[in-house]
Amino acid sequence: MSFFGFGQSVEVEILLNDAESRKRAEHKTEDGKKEKYFLFYDGETVSGKVSLALKNPNKRLEHQGIKIEFIGQIELYYDRGNHHEFVSLVKDLARPGEISQSQAFDFEFTHVEKPYESYTGQNVKLRYFLRATISRRLNDVVKEMDIVVHTLSTYPELNSSIKMEVGIEDCLHIEFEYNKSKYHLKDVIVGKIYFLLVRIKIKHMEIDIIKRETTGTGPNVYHENDTIAKYEIMDGAPVRGESIPIRLFLAGYELTPTMRDINKKFSVRYYLNLVLIDEEERRYFKQQEVVLWRKGDIVRKSMSHQAAIASQRFEGTTSLGEPTFSSPGPAASAVPASLFRGLGMVPLRGLEVQRILESTENTRGNSESAPQKPLQSKMQTMRGSGVSTPRVFCGAHRHLNLGHQILPPVIYQQFPSCTTCH
pTM as predicted: 0.67
Q: Are 214 and 338 in a shared domain?
A: no
Q: Are 140 and 173 in a shared domain?
A: no
- CATH at 225: 2.60.40.640
**Domain-embedded: residue 3:** no
The model's pLDDT over 21-45, given as tens digits with 9 standing for 90+, comes to 999 999 988 888 889 999 999 999 9
Task: Give the Cα separation of 330 and 338 in Å (integer).
Answer: 22
If one counts the domains in the chain, the total is: 3
The model's pLDDT over 43-96, given as tens digits with 9 standing for 90+, comes to 999 999 999 998 887 788 889 999 999 999 999 988 877 889 999 999 999 999
**Domain-embedded: residue 419:** no
The model's pLDDT over 395-404, given as tens digits with 9 standing for 90+, comes to 444 444 433 3
Q: Are 20 and 119 in a shared domain?
A: yes
Q: Are 314 and 271 in a shared domain?
A: no
Confidence band of 358 (pLDDT split at 50, 70, 90) = low
Q: Choose one of 293, 323, 354: the last residue of a domain.
A: 293
**Domain-embedded: residue 211:** yes
The model's pLDDT over 315-346, given as tens digits with 9 standing for 90+, comes to 334 444 444 333 333 333 334 444 333 333 34
Confidence band of 101 (pLDDT split at 50, 70, 90) = confident
Residue 233 CA: distances (Å) to CA of 78, 180, 203, 253: 39, 18, 11, 17
Q: Are 185 and 311 in a shared domain?
A: no
Task: Give the Cα separation of 245 and 113 in Å (integer).
Answer: 43
Residue 305 has pLDDT above 60, yes or no: no
The model's pLDDT over 261-288, given as tens digits with 9 standing for 90+, comes to 999 999 999 999 999 888 888 888 889 9
Q: Are 200 and 233 in a shared domain?
A: yes
Tell me what the mean pLDDT of segment 184-194 comes to. Answer: 93
Residue 389 has pLDDT above 70, yes or no: no
Q: Are 252 and 280 in a shared domain?
A: yes
**Domain-embedded: residue 157:** no
Residue 6 has pLDDT above 70, yes or no: no
Greater confidence, 166 or 268?
A: 268
**Domain-embedded: residue 5:** no
Q: Are 235 and 166 in a shared domain?
A: yes
Q: Choose one of 150, 185, 202: the last residue of a domain.
A: 150
Tell me what the mean pLDDT of segment 118-130 comes to. Answer: 94
- Per the structure, the complete domain to which residue 363 belongs is given by 303-414
**Domain-embedded: residue 401:** yes
Chain centre to alpha carbon of residue 275 = 34
Q: What is the pLDDT of residue 236?
A: 83
Q: Are 16 and 97 in a shared domain?
A: yes
Q: Are 133 and 27 in a shared domain?
A: yes
Q: What is the pLDDT of residue 307?
A: 46
Compute the mean pLDDT over every residue in the chain, rounded to the nearest whole number.
75
Confidence band of 362 (pLDDT split at 50, 70, 90) = low
**Domain-embedded: residue 120:** yes
**Domain-embedded: residue 317:** yes
Residue 376 has pLDDT above 90, yes or no: no
Q: Are 318 and 283 in a shared domain?
A: no
Confidence band of 8 (pLDDT split at 50, 70, 90) = low
Q: Choose one of 108, 125, 150: the last residue of a domain.
A: 150
Angle subtended by helix axes 373-384 and 350-364, to nearest 10: 150
Q: Are 197 and 252 in a shared domain?
A: yes
Task: Give the Cα separation of 307 and 317 in Å (integer).
Answer: 16
